[in-house]
Amino acid sequence: MKKLALHWQILLGMVLGVVFALIFTNLDWGAKFIGDWIKPFGTIFINALKLIAIPLILAALIKGIADLKDISSLSKMGIRTILTYIVTTVLAVSIGLMVVSVVQPGKAINEDTRNELVEAYGGEAEMKRQDALKQKDAGPLQALVDLVPENIFSAASSNRNMLQVIFFAVFFGIGLILIPEEKSKTVKDFFDGFNEVILKMVDLIMLAAPYGVFALLAALVVEAPSADLFAALAMYAFCVVLGLALMIGIYILLVKIFTKRSPGFFLNGIAPAQLLAFSTSSSAATLPVTMERVTEHLGVEEEVSSFVLPIGATINMDGTSLYQAVAAVFIAQAFGMDLSFGTQLGIIATATLASIGSAAVPGAGMVMLVGVLGYAGIPEAGLALIFAVDRPLDMCRTVVNVTGDATVSMLVAKSQGKLGEPKVKDWDDNYKKVS
């Protein structure tokens, strides 16, 4: 029998996880059973993915930069990457603002619902606000200071420090380009082999993906808050999801226009990474799979993907910035505030910066939203309004974050003449390769 393609297997795992949890929540001991015996497998799966994120960035980036052979192609690619990332992010925020201004979901929230939400989620929202406050005390150049670690081992000991590890890897790669070939060869070969090993580990972890997402989704369903509050926020959630869907449409269009690759080719190639982004709510945890899919299935050469994707996972969050714009305006609407055109332009700028500053982990976008609210003078207590639906929306925006990174990597690869034919045409070939 022909083996089901990986994205179908993952999708099946997700659906079965939800159905399983819905059945088990009817039993007295069901939720505890899932918490004790199913959820840990989801955690193990995410941990396994996160485990290889830092070694992958190090190996892939050092190898990728060393392959570039000269500094000028690195700076050309760097500038193109950052500019394209900024353009897509600004586009995303603008779409978010447009959708939320047209649909006006905040107007549907009456005072009772508002109070109910503030009461139910005020505590959790306050915790997010405190997290944000910790980051806020910094001066204007703090982000730049944070980029340079004082110790590479302590930087590499936390997935939250990915930008620092990227800095080290780029710096190391530049050093490698600048020394004589006979000295650099051994080091390059080492990272080359190291990189291959890590990619093989990704293949192996992906064999467990359908089971991993089953466990993750079952645990999420059991822990989800009451459906009544969900209903009150349906219009808001609809706006975020509509904006995100439009953004995916834009990516498909960009890929078609600039690289002439069909939507089917693009979506088929990236689907497993999108499904994992949805299940884990973390672009960082998804990064190893995004790298594998983009390189092997979308035809982006490794020297581009290994540079563009780790940077994208940390700074390019189109889904997050779009959500922040929608959420900020929604809260303003719910509190009966009218935002001027100038404030809306400011939201574009702050949401772009906030998404760059958001860590690639679950819920990070909401912490950074505090900054956007603060800028626009919108009550931070409003965070409580959107708390109930934040997790499902986090899952959706992470899909867009990852898809945006993949899109930009294809565009940059095309502009550098580094977009070729994919090495693996479909997952089944790859599956045979590892099994």
Q: Using CB under 6 A as the criterion, which residues of the chain lie in contact with ligand ASP when the complex forms? A: 281-283, 317, 320, 358, 360-365, 394, 397-398, 401
Least separation in angstroms between residue 363's CB and ligand ASP is 5
Residue nearest to ligand ASP (CB): 365
Nearer to ligand ASP, 84 or 358 (CB): 358
Name the β-bridge partners of 300. 419
Determine if residue 4 is left, alpha or beta; phi over 0 gives left, psi from -120 to 50 gives alpha, anything else beta. Answer: beta
Nearer to ligand ASP, 65 or 277 (CB): 277
Residues in the chain: 435
Least separation in angstroms between residue 402's CB and ligand ASP is 7
Nearer to ligand ASP, 315 or 378 (CB): 315
Least separation in angstroms between residue 282's CB and ligand ASP is 4
**Residue 254 contacts residue 407 (beta carbons within 8 Å):** yes
- The whole-angstrom separation of Cα 142 and Cα 138 is 6
Least separation in angstroms between residue 362's CB and ligand ASP is 5
- The whole-angstrom separation of Cα 434 and Cα 322 is 38
Q: How many helices (H) and strands (E) does the chain have?
A: 22, 0
Nearer to ligand ASP, 173 or 212 (CB): 212
Least separation in angstroms between residue 172's CB and ligand ASP is 26
Nearer to ligand ASP, 80 or 391 (CB): 391
Least separation in angstroms between residue 221's CB and ligand ASP is 19
Nearer to ligand ASP, 254 or 366 (CB): 366
**Residue 230 contacts residue 60 (beta carbons within 8 Å):** no
Find all residues with CB under 8 Å of 259, minimum gap 6, and list them.
Answer: 410, 411, 413, 414, 419
- The whole-angstrom separation of Cα 316 and Cα 310 is 10
